[in-house]
Amino acid sequence: MIKKIQSFAKINLFLYVTSRRKDGYHNLCSLMTQIDLYDDLYIEFSKKNISITCDHPDVPNDESNIAYKAADLFLNCFTKNERKEKNGLSIKIIKKIPPGGGLGGGSSNAAAVLTSLNNYHKNPYSKSQLMKMGLSLGADVPFFIFNSPAIARGVGEKLEKIEILKPYHLVLCDPGVHASTAKVYKNIDFKLTTNQKYNMNTALSVLLRGVDFDVRDIMHNELEESACRLYPEIRETKEEMELLLERKVFMTGSGSSLFALFTEHENANKGYEKLLSKWNKSKKKLFLSSFKYDL
C-alpha cells in the first residue's frame, strides 16, 4: 500500500527572539502559517525495514534524514507500547520546498510521516502526544502536526491557534544560499532587538483579540539582520525584490527564503513574472504561493 501525501511549507509572519536559554537554544514568539508550496511524499507501509530516498542532492538518503528519524521514533514507541514486532516502511520524497530556506520543509516531512503512521495504525496517539513526539525531532515539527495558523512560543512548541488570518498571496524567493540556523542564532545582536518588544506585544494583543486586521502591519523578523550580516546575498536579494515589487519584503525563519505579500493573485503573478524575467539566468528560484486554509 503506497500513500501519497502533500507536506506543506510554512512562513513566519513575525518572529521575535525573546531570550537566550541556558540549554543554548532561544525562546521565540512567532506568528506562523502554512502555505501551499509542498513536497510530495510517497509512503509504503508494512516493509521489513525503514528506507528513504529524496530527489534533492542536499537531502540525505539515510537515517540522518529527519523523516527517517520520525518513522523510527514512532515505530519504536508503537511496537514497545503495543508489544508488537517492529515493521518498517519506505519513504520517497519529491522535493519542491527549498532545503535550508527557513520554510520548514524537513520538519513538515517529519510531521507528515508521524501523522501518516498514526493514521495507518488507527490513531494510537492523540495530537498532543504526536506533537510531543515531534518536538524531540525539531522545534517546528509540532506546528505542522498542530495544523493551524498559530502563535508559537518557547522554542516553538507552545502553540496558540489564531482564528482570524486574512488570506494572502505571496511571491517567494530562494536566493540560492543555504543559511545555517545555528550560525544565524549565534550571530544575533540583542542590542538591536531590545526596542522591538513593544511592537511584539502590540501584535499579540491584536491577534489574540481576534479582530480584523492587516497582517502586513505587524510583520517583522529579528533574525533577518543576523542572517544578512552572515550572508550578503540575502540582503542584496531582499533590496532588489523591494525595488522591483515596490513593497516590503521579509525573510522567513532563520533564512534564507524571502517573501512579499499581495492581496490579489493577479498582482502577485505580475510581481512573480517581473522577478522571473530579471533573474531567469541566476541561481535564485521563485515560487508563486498563497496561505493554506483547507487545514
- The residue out of 140, 161, 182 marking a domain boundary is 161
Residue tagged active-site, from 10, 69, 95, 238: 10
Can you give the pLDDT at residue 194?
55
Domain total for the chain?
2
Cβ-Cβ contacts under 8 Å for 57 (sequence gap 6 or more): none
pLDDT digits over 197-253, tens only? 667 887 787 777 766 778 888 899 999 999 999 999 999 999 999 999 999 999 999
What is the tens place of the pLDDT at every residue in 210-226?
Answer: 667 788 888 999 999 99
Question: Angle at which helices 66-82 and 105-120 pack, to 10 degrees?
Answer: 30
**Host domain of residue 25:** 2-161
> How many CB atoms sit inside 10 A of residue 277's CB?
9
The one catalytic residue among 39, 95, 140, 238? 140
- Contact in structure between 240 and 284 (CB atoms under 8 Å): no
> What's the confidence (pLDDT) of residue 280?
86
Report the pLDDT value the prediction gives residue 20, as an integer from 0 to 100. 85
pLDDT for position 25: 81
Last residue of some domain: 131, 161, 191? Answer: 161
CATH of the domain at 121: 3.30.230.10
Pairwise CA distance, residues 204 & 100, whole Å: 28
Is residue 140 part of the annotated active site? The answer reads yes
In 3D space, the residue among 162, 160, 164, 149 whose CA is nearest the CA of residue 212 turns out to be 164
The cell for 210 is 481576534
Q: Report which secondary-structure segment, H or E, holds 186.
A: helix 181-186
Task: Fill in the amino acid letter for 52.
Answer: I
Do both 8 and 151 map to the same domain? yes
What average pLDDT does the structure give for the chain?
92
Question: Residue 137 above 80 pLDDT?
Answer: yes
Cα dist. 174→44, 116, 278 in Å? 31, 29, 14
Global pTM reads 0.94
pLDDT tens profile 142-161 = 999 999 999 999 988 899 99
| 173, 146: one domain | no
| Res 294: pLDDT | 67
Q: How does DSSP assign 12-23, residue by residue?
A: EEEEEEEEE-TT
3 is catalytic: no
Identify the CATH number of the domain in which residue 180 sits: 3.30.70.890
* Inside any domain, residue 62: yes
Based on the fold, state whether residues 111 and 176 are members of the same structural domain: no
pLDDT tens for 22-33 read: 887 889 999 999
* Tens of pLDDT, residues 68-125: 999 999 999 998 877 777 789 999 999 999 998 999 999 999 999 999 999 999 999 9
* Residues 229 and 136 grouped into a single domain: no
State which H helix or E strand residue 113 sits in.
helix 105-120
